[in-house]
Structure 1
Amino acid sequence: SSPSILPVYEKYNRRSHYVSISMSDRSPRLSYAANIYHGIDLSRFTFAENPSRDYLLFYGRFHPDKGAKEAIAIAQRAGLPLKMAGIIQDRSYFESFIQPAIDRGVAEYLGSVGAESRDQLLGNALALLHPINFNEPFGLSVVEAMATGTPVIAINRGSMPELIDHGITGYLAGSAEEAADFIPEIKKIDRTVCRKTVEERFSAKRMAADYLALYKQILA
């Protein structure tokens, strides 16, 4: 939550049952009833059994926080094609750092993709690059990529170590340079484990069950 709203929440600590979406997003000023991770509808994400795995992917908002510029640097360092998809939230940032890479043929921008294209784009990627520059409370694109079997290489901050099991479903890096160094290792990741992790920990069914259990606990 934004620090500016915390004083309001804090007033209702004794009367409310706050739920965090990750442990990293918790405030020491609030009392929490539970931590319940977001869940996704797995029927909308197909496990890619025979992916092409011939490109890296950036999938998210084009804003300094999300690390699109860093994703380009990682792909260049690795010598691999980069596909990019998402809404342009910061036009100045996009034109300064992303458009030049597109013009040079270093990256391909696909715009904001629909559900079917998203499924194929995520599933066929060698890895999703998630080099965030902020403490992200939760990364839906991380979970969505893993649902298709695609591992994730992310910067180790915010909720990332809660979502990604280092060396099992992806890699957690301390910098863009280190992230690029993990790319040669990415094919060692078992894609079926990525999918299974989402089924067990990040499905909508699991999320609903956790909330129902919490409601019953509160009402008991």
Structure 2
Amino acid sequence: MKIAIIVNPLIPVPPEQYGGIERIIYMLIQELIKTGHDVTLYAHPDSKPGCKLIPYSEEEHYSLKDFIRINRITAKIAHQGFDLVHTFGRMSNIALLMLSKIPKVVSYQLPPTVSQVKKAVKIARLHSLHFTACSNYIAGQIKDYCDVITIYNGVDIADYQCNDKMEADAPLVFLGRIQKEKGTAIAIQLAKKTKRKLIIAGNIPAEAIHQQYFNEEVKPFIDGEQINYIGPVNNVQKNELLRKAYAFLMPVLWDEPFGIVMTEALACGAPVIGFRRGAVPEVVTNGLNGFVCDTFDEMVIAIEHIGDISCTACRQVVEERFSSTVLAKQYETLYKQLIGK
């Protein structure tokens, strides 16, 4: 198959540090190439996807000028022999393609705007537009308005080494953006309550509200002994951090669309303890690869029972449900169905 994949040109593919969607797209491309497909990526000019790249950009504040310029680029897809176009980016960037009979797949990695979905379904050529979601939680928000299936995100298993056995004094780990919605302060409270060490890794967003959160609710507790903050980490550092974790903390205060970092932790053999928000219960099974909790006190109890979880079982869940191979096979199957192969 000849496949066009589109992503918003905000971060290169693959990303060096933060960039979950871009990481998923890179994995998908590599797997599709392995199985003999011809892939072209429309993305950030600095991308190095290992396939043909059509670079494009947009202004800091997306405007009508961006809409027109980008659609002039993507509209050509309909006349270049592609079997299918798959976008992880703005639907507005394939507005002209809506009129084409070429099969179009729109993948949602974040909560969808229902009004946009309804509008796209209305204007798109009949039976040409299809949707995927990274979790049942996301799919449930639009399933009454369009054709949508869930294809979970995942990780390239080869990038992560699993720890066969966790050390009793291993630290808890929090990895993600340092902001209230991610629950960094709650992770600190859990470490204090359970008297365990905690390593915090991730970037602090530039917005003032997040800087204030860090300065008031995180920074005062960083002592270099029990609570450590090591900043953003690259892939190598992330692997080393997670494989030495006692447990990975996911105390999110928002409905997580998927949470790729959970699968990264599990691939390293680190059990996940998270709140019952968004897709967390779809990734974590109580007693098998971690614990899904409703309260802070339940998280405390879960940490006390982490020793009952097998590192190998955590890894196996990823191999069976959330690997790049599984992800790509599901997308490939969908592509073939849509183009009639």
Distance (whole Å) between structure 1 residues aligned to residue 281 and residue 111 of structure 2? 21
Matches within 5 A, 1:5-44: 5-13=113-121, 15-26=128-139, 27-28=141-142, 29-44=144-159
Instruction: Determine if contact 1:168/1:193 at 8 Å carries over to the other structure.
Output: yes
Within 5 Å, give how 1:47-58 maps onto structure 2.
47-53=162-168, 54-58=170-174
SS at match of 1:168: coil
1:31-180 maps to which residues of 2 (within 5 A)? 31-53=146-168, 54-89=170-205, 90-103=210-223, 105-180=225-300
Q: TM-score, normalised by structure 1?
A: 0.94
Following the alignment from structure 2 to structure 1, what is the Cα–Cα distance between the partners of residues 225 and 311?
29
Which 4+ stretches in 1 moved above 6 angstroms?
Answer: none
User: In structure 1, the residue corresponding to 2:129 is in which secondary structure?
Assistant: coil
Q: Could you state the TM-score of these two structures normalised by the residue count of structure 2? A: 0.62
1:34, 1:214 within 8 Å by CA — same for their partners in 2?
A: no
Q: Is the 8 A contact 1:73 1:176 kept in 2?
A: no
- Conservation of the 8 A alpha-carbon contact between 1:55 and 1:126: yes
3-state secondary structure, aligned to 2:185: helix
1:201-212 correspondence to structure 2 within 5 Å: 201-212=321-332
Gaps of 5+ in 1: none
Deviation at 1:2, TM superposition (A): 4.7
Cα distance change, pair 6–119 in 1 and its aligned pair in 2 (3 A): same
Structural RMSD (CA)? 1.6
Number of the residue aligned with 2:307: 187
Specify every segment of 5 or more residues in structure 2 that has no aligned partner in the other structure, as ranges. Answer: 1-109
State the structure with more CA Rg.
2
Q: Match for 1:22: what amino acid?
A: S
Structure 1 residue 197: deviation in Å? 0.6
Moved more, 105-114 or 131-140: 105-114
Check conservation: 2:156, 2:323, Cα contact below 8 A: yes
**Paired amino acid for 2:175:** Y
